[in-house]
Amino acid sequence: MKLSDCFKQGKFVITCEVGPSKGIETEKIMEELEPLRPKIDAFNVTDLQSSVLRVGSLAMCRLLREKDFEPIMQLTCRDRNRLGLQSDVLSAAVLGIENLLCLTGDHPKLGDHPAAMPVFDLDSVQLLSAIKGLVDGKDMAGNALEGRAPEFCLGAAVNPGADPLEPQIIKMEKKIEAGAQFFQTQAVYEVDKFASFMEKVGHLKAPVMAGIVLLKSPGMARFMNANVAGIHVPDEIINELAAAPKEKRTEKSLEISARLISELKDLCRGIHIMSLGWERHVPAILEMAGL
């Protein structure tokens, strides 16, 4: 089913992240996605996540489309100016990719090419507006597109754990005004904080999907706290994971993710899972979470 139809029908939507390969061999990734097919409504393909060079989101989304998966193309403002972005958006439409998640993008300094020029010609709000313009048949310069206009289901991101939260919510409102139809959040580990965030955005109609990053080890949690922008794993969760004996750690880790999902699912309209190589565990986690 199309992602836009899932939202229209009020379905509880489950999406999963796919990180393209560092080289050109994509077969393994595609194979790993097969078991997820029955449970996952759409797959987000990251756009050089954490500013690390990989195969592009557009190519990977097309491969997914060819296999009848529903792709969501992530699009960041880090690497392309408004010409490049608009062109890739049109290319996505040509290749049958309808869902776009519009993001600011991590700074290049955080990735494996720290000397790269940070572009950020547009920000996420302006990118959404630009795409809405294309849907209305006009590019950013006001020139008309020839033939039929593209159609998109536009998504955006929000960080419910941000402090202060108010500027995030103001920006979220602007994203909706600019054309965002759904939101996927940064990883959530604190259910209370998320619940209070959802209360504060209760006036907004766009569906919100809570982000879940599968924690593989206490070390990974500490690494993310120190190095991944916008993520904070509280000590209680790190300690809970660290307290499990090594051979039971994976089990514990899946249990923590499943618990988070089951606590979050009644607060929002969907779950977005960032599995980071643990795609094989996703079906089990969803089952444990009652989904």
Partner 1 sequence: MLFTKDKPLDEVLESLGQEKSIFLLACNGCAEACETGGQEALSAMKTEVEKAGKSVTGTCLVDFLCNKVLVTTRLAREIDKINQADSILALTCGIGVQAVARVVDKVVHPAANTVSLGGLQGLWPADERCQACGDCALDYTGGICPITSCAKGLLNGPCGGAQDGKCEVDPEKDCGWIKIYERLKNIGRLENLKKIRTPRDHSKMLPSAELRETSFYDLEK
E strands within 64-160? 71-76, 99-103, 153-158
Nearest to 274 by CA among 187, 171, 159, 167: 187
From 13-21, 168-176, 264-272, 282-290, give the range in contact with partner 1 by CB under 8 A: 168-176
Q: Does residue number 168 form part of the binding site for partner 1 (CB under 8 A)?
A: yes
d(CA 189, CA 197): 13
Nearest to 232 by CA among 159, 158, 124, 157: 159
Q: Does residue number 107 form part of the binding site for partner 1 (CB under 8 A)?
A: yes
Per-residue binder mask for partner 1 (CB under 8 A), 192-231, x = binder: -------------------------------------xx-
Identity of the residue, 39 or 82, whose beta carbon is nearer to partner 1 in the bound complex: 82
- Minimum separation from the CB atom of position 109 to partner 1 (A): 5
Q: Does residue number 235 form part of the binding site for partner 1 (CB under 8 A)?
A: no
Nearest to 51 by CA among 119, 106, 14: 106
Query: How many CB atoms are located within 10 Å of the residue 118 CB?
Result: 14
d(CA 158, CA 173): 10
Identity of the residue, 14 or 178, whose beta carbon is nearer to partner 1 in the bound complex: 178
d(CA 144, CA 193): 45
- Minimum separation from the CB atom of position 168 to partner 1 (A): 7
Per-residue binder mask for partner 1 (CB under 8 A), 12-51, x = binder: ----------------------------------------
3-state secondary structure of 4: helix
- Minimum separation from the CB atom of position 269 to partner 1 (A): 19
- Minimum separation from the CB atom of position 50 to partner 1 (A): 11
Q: Does residue number 125 form part of the binding site for partner 1 (CB under 8 A)?
A: yes
Identity of the residue, 230 or 234, whose beta carbon is nearer to partner 1 in the bound complex: 230
Site for partner 1 in 62-101 (CB under 8 A): 77, 82
What is the end-to-end Cα distance of the chain in Å, rounded? 17
Q: Does residue number 232 form part of the binding site for partner 1 (CB under 8 A)?
A: yes
How many contiguous H segments (helices) and E segments (strands) does the chain have? 11, 8
Identity of the residue, 6 or 169, whose beta carbon is nearer to partner 1 in the bound complex: 169
Nearest to 39 by CA among 74, 71, 15: 15
- Minimum separation from the CB atom of position 114 to partner 1 (A): 10
Identity of the residue, 154 or 157, whose beta carbon is nearer to partner 1 in the bound complex: 157
d(CA 270, CA 14): 6
Q: Does residue number 159 form part of the binding site for partner 1 (CB under 8 A)?
A: yes
- Minimum separation from the CB atom of position 52 to partner 1 (A): 15
| DSSP line for 168-232 | HHHHHHHHHHHT--EEEEEE---HHHHHHHHHHTTT--S-EEEEEEPP--HHHHHHHHHHSTT--
Q: Does residue number 174 form part of the binding site for partner 1 (CB under 8 A)?
A: yes
State the residues that interact with partner 1 by CB under 8 A.
77, 82, 104, 106-107, 109-110, 118, 120-126, 129-130, 140, 157-159, 162-164, 166-168, 170-171, 173-174, 177-178, 186, 229-230, 232
